[in-house]
Amino acid sequence: MNKNSKGSALLSMMNDLKRNDEVAAMELGVTLKQLQSWIRGEDNIPDELLSKATEIWPVNRRDFEPITDDVPEGLLVVTAEESKLTERILHRKGTPYYAYRDTAMSRMAPFRPEWIAELVDTDNTDVDDERVCWNNGHFLHQFTYFMGPVNFYFMRGSERCLAQMNTGDSMYISPYIPHTFTNRTVRDNQRGLILALTYSSDLGGDARAEMGALGEDTISKMLLPSVSSQGGIKSLLMSHMTDSCVTPKELSSRCGIPLEKIDGFLQCKNKFNFDELILIAHSLQIDVKDLLAYDAQDREVVEILRGNDCDKWGYNDYLFKQLASSKAMSKVRAFEVLVNPALTGGVIRTSLFQYGYVLGPNPVKISWTYNGTTFRKTLQPDDSFVMKPAIEHSFECTQLSKILLLRAPGKISGDALLELSSLPPGGISRAVQENKQWYQS
């Protein structure tokens, strides 16, 4: 973070807390001149000042520490050789189990993508095989792309399951599902590898820090009893009614829907149509989308998609193949993209962060434009990259090649993106980097 952004964070905080320069300088015990130089980014803000601010104001140290931009050109590449240097072998039950290699990751993007070689061989379909070492599941969501013969073991409820995966197959599993992988012994001695692309969701970062501060007891009392379909709409409605201190009778009088119908809905005896939901939402001064639940979602999701069963379609000169996904993570998308040398590379763009891995067998040239500059880079097989959102880019090759793409939102998505999109003129620039006091002196 540069000096000016730290000063901007301080100014933004002072605006939120309704402290002008004079009051803030007095409370922080510094001179007005010194405070103003920190706000303008002319001097580094000393650690003692940050400690003092967190001591006297209701702010956290992390509020001063915005994200480091480690992708200054919009795209960060990790070559296969660089990836190899990160290899470490982890043991399970005293036996080498996985060789892990980091692939492209950024401090900004939600991905934690690993190349993993399975070092234990299994030659049967026994889910209780002693050589199979199960993990406890983990907080991050996981998309996995398979290369070679790999046994994928996972829990479905209390049942141990096995899926025999091959090159081009993919899977998604939701957090905390125990799972593991082994190399499946086959006649031609081909080794199995996976690209385990884990990523954080809305619950990562600040949300996770808030959960830690609130504690399990409080969090448990906040949970919605159901998040799917009509049961989910009922849960959301009851939650909004509780937050707004509105009884069914009050709701009925506000929206004009008979009390019997509202009571019937809350007892799961009848449904509302969309027009009624709009009436209810507006009477609670919320948007109708805030009453819409997932149409279906299980607590534990394992989606497996075979390479031969994937949907394929053409898009801007490329052949896209849909890989495993889940409705539970509807903003995350995974594709295999075939780059055809006979076609010129069409421009594509996404509002999501994008991770890419060159599956090969041939190099791919990527071109992208960031902050008015166009860059070009040749990516070799097994090179990987992370790209910031909203960057126009294209792929070209001289011989047919394939790329794996995984797209996932950062924190600026969903409701946050809607709110950002509705700011008045000039608002975005101030939201990005505050440069004004909230009133003219």
Choose between 117 and 387: whose C-beta lies nearer to Fe ion: 117
Toward Fe ion, which CB reaches closer, 142 or 183? Answer: 142
CA 107, 113, 117, 119 torsion-angle sign: positive
Q: How far apart are CA 324 and CA 304, in angstroms?
A: 6
Detail the DSSP E strand segments found in 238-316: 302-305, 312-315
Residue placing its CB nearer to Fe ion in the complex, 142 or 201: 142
Beta-strand relationship, 121-122 and 179-184: parallel
Query: At its nearest, how many Å lie between Fe ion and the CB of residue 140?
Result: 8
Nearer to Fe ion, 76 or 147 (CB): 147
- 202-223: b (≥16 Cβ within 10 Å) or e: bebeeeeeeeeeeeeeeeeeee
Integer Cα distance of 172 and 144 in angstroms: 6
**Residue 142 or 326 having the CB closest to Fe ion:** 142
Measured from the CB atom, is 114 or 383 closer to Fe ion? Answer: 114
Identity of the residue, 178 or 363, whose beta carbon is nearer to Fe ion in the bound complex: 178
Residues within the interface to Fe ion (CB under 5 A): 142
Contacting residues for 197 by C-beta, under 8 A, at least 6 apart: 111, 112, 113, 114, 142, 143, 144, 145, 334, 355, 406
Strands ordered across the beta sheet of 88-92 = 88-92, 95-102, 111-118, 193-199, 141-147, 170-173, 302-305
Which residue number places its CB atom closest to Fe ion? 142
C-alpha to C-alpha distance for 274 and 259, rounded to whole angstroms: 18
Q: What span, in angstroms and rounded, lies between the C-alpha atoms of 187 and 172?
A: 28
